[in-house]
Amino acid sequence: MLTRIDHIGIACFDLDRTVEFYRATYGFEVFHSEVNEEQGVREAMLKINDTGDGGASYLQLLEPTREDSTVAKWLAKNGEGVHHIAFGTADVDGDAADIRAKGVRVLYDEPRIGSMGSRITFLHPKDCGGVLTELVTSAAAEH
Ligand code: V0V
Ligand code: CO
């Protein structure tokens, strides 16, 4: 069951400059940052609020680490902006299977490693009304 908005992914050309915009404008601080080589991103997670399922909602600021990454390709076409939304679940494997059975393309056979040791998969934007959609099971407090 999907129980929260885990994050909104925002693509940018310059992560440090974008982090500073969110800090100076809204007062949001970086909760966590990392490089995900597999996904080709450097990212900063800004925690916005805790959620009733024991998780939290974040903004995920994304800068590409290489030119052939999905985010670099998207930025070249669209410029900066909202890149994806992510729903949180305690069971990404089960929810991905249920959604696949409804005819929506799930991009990975097995979830991959996401931010803060989470397990993530993506749904094809063309099957989701133009919205790249991610499913996330966070590393902490879920099974
Ligand atoms: C592409 N399209 C999108 C889109 N990216 N539509 C909405 N939102 C997006 N973000 C559209 C694009 O405009 C094309 O439509 C069509 O899909 C095919 O796109 P493409 O440019 O030819 O690119 P593809 O097919 O090579 O790749 C698109 C997919 C790719 C969605 C398959 O981006 C992908 O695998 N994404 C999942 C991984 C990812 O995004 N990782 C970065 C975040 P038209 O022009 O044909 O109409 S990593 C992350 O979130 C982490 C680590 C985390 O949360 O922990
Ligand atoms: Co994400």
| Site of tokens 């099957």 | 127
Starting at the edge strand that comes first in sequence, how are the strands of the sheet with 2-11 ordered?
Answer: 30-36, 41-50, 56-64, 2-11, 81-89, 133-137, 119-123, 112-113
- Predicted confidence at residue 126, as pLDDT, reads 98
Q: Which residues line ligand 1 (CB under 6 A)?
A: 9, 36, 39, 41, 60, 62, 70-71, 73-74, 83-84, 86, 107, 114-115, 118, 120, 122, 124-126, 130, 132, 134
38 and 112 Cβ atoms separated by less than 8 Å: yes
Give the closest residue (by CA) to ligand 1 atom 2: 125
Task: Say what the pTM is.
Answer: 0.97
Give the chain's residues under pLDDT 50: none
Range of the domain at 128: 2-142
CATH of the domain at 31: 3.10.180.10
Provide the domain count of the chain: 1
**Nearest bound ligand to CA 11?**
1
Q: Strand, helix or coil at 122?
A: strand
